[in-house]
Amino acid sequence: MRVRVLGSAAGGAFPQWNCGCPNCRRVRAKASGLTPRSQASLAVSGDGEHYFLLNVSPDIRSQIEAAPELHPRHARGSPISGAVITNGDLDACLGALCLRESEPLALFTTEVIRRGLVEGNTFFRTLARFDDHVRWHTLKPHAPEPLLTPAGEDSGLRVEAIPIPGKVPLHLAGIEAEHPQQNIGVLLRSPDSQSVLGFFPSVAGPSGELERAIAQTTCCFFDGTFWTDDELPALGLATRSAREMAHWPLSGLDGSLAWLASKSHTRRVLIHINNTNPILDEASDAHQRVLAAGIEIGTDGLELTL
Ligand SMILES: [Zn+2]
């Protein structure tokens, strides 16, 4: 299985257009030890022919241009067969609407997430311009499904949805009820079943399902959004804490870093890192503490073979 990190930042990317936090100011000034990042997404392939995106960020156009394996191989067409969408947050799915140039796509997500994207949303009609423009595949919890191309060919990869503590997307608050399938992580099994990739970009906290899922992985991308629970309020940027935004902060005795440190059977890479997070500064104590725990900090363009 080939994996490329297309983007490693949380919503808003790094730097974020309307953010003048210390990290964003310093990365704009090209300070050493800070690297710009686009919004979180992976590209995966089991055969080197067909690629699937794990989430489709609003940065997808530039992410494709930065990834030679995703470039067209004919006058019209794309190696991108489709995408798996793990929640309805716009940084996770808005890019699907940017892939609107009449290319058939297979989209895999839960029924609850699909409904939130499509119902009441006239924009999504741009992906329904002809029969089978988008082929939706419903993921049910813990039920592995083949990742099929839009033509129904088996890519060899298997995807399994894992319900993960989370929340409804901001724009559906008060419209859609909280539901265990509003936020998922995924396990992707290689064609020979020897490798299992975990993708958990939004995790509100620990759970038994998460514990059992990560135990199966050989490599796992995990929510690295915030370092501290009060990260945004402390910077005067927002009133809500990390936990109130359904992101498990890394630091602290009950933080995700200590939990991840105990999962040494699997390669662990942080992704969906918010621009305020001190781990983005290579000279910071937080950055060094993550590395000392045996955990990697995702960067755009990182390539893995599992
Ligand atoms: Zn910022």
- With a cut of 90, say whether residue 193 has pLDDT above it: no
Distance 186 CA to ligand 1 centre (A): 28
Cα 179 to averaged position of ligand 1 atoms, centre (Å) = 31
Distance between Cα 54 and ligand 1 center (Å): 24
Please give the Cα distance from 63 to 58 (Å, whole number). 10
178: phi then psi, degrees, rounded to nearest 5: -60, 140
- Does position 279 have pLDDT exceeding 90, yes or no? yes
Tokens matching residue 204: 């509100």
Overall average pLDDT of the 166-189 stretch = 91
Ligand 1 centroid distance, CA of 16 (Å): 6
Percent of the chain with pLDDT strictly greater than 90 = 93
Distance 57 CA to ligand 1 centre (A): 18
What mean pLDDT comes out for the span 23-45?
98
Q: What is the pLDDT of residue 176?
A: 86
Q: State mean pLDDT over 185-203.
A: 96
What is the C-alpha separation between 242 and 71, in angstroms, rounded? 37
| Distance in angstroms between the alpha carbons of the first and the last residue of the chain | 5
Write down the pTM of the prediction. 0.97
Token representation of residue 143: 């039920």
- Using one digit for the tens of pLDDT, what is the confidence trace for 215-263? 999 999 999 999 999 999 999 999 999 999 999 999 999 999 999 999 9
Question: Who surrounds ion ligand 1 at CB < 5 A?
Answer: 19, 21, 24, 275
Pairing, β 303-305 against β 2-7: antiparallel
Separation between Cα atoms, residue 276 and residue 116, nearest integer Å: 29
- DSSP 8-state class, residue 274: -
Q: What percent of the chain has pLDDT over 70?
A: 100
User: For residue range 120-147, what is the model confidence (pLDDT) as tens digits?
Assistant: 899 999 999 999 999 999 999 999 999 9
Per residue in 84-112, pLDDT (tens digit) is: 999 999 999 999 999 999 999 999 999 99
Q: Exposure pattern of 78-93 as b/e (b: 16+ CB <10 Å)?
A: bbbbbbbbbbbbbbbb
| Centre of ligand 1 from the C-alpha of residue 118, in Å | 31
What is the length of the chain?
A: 306
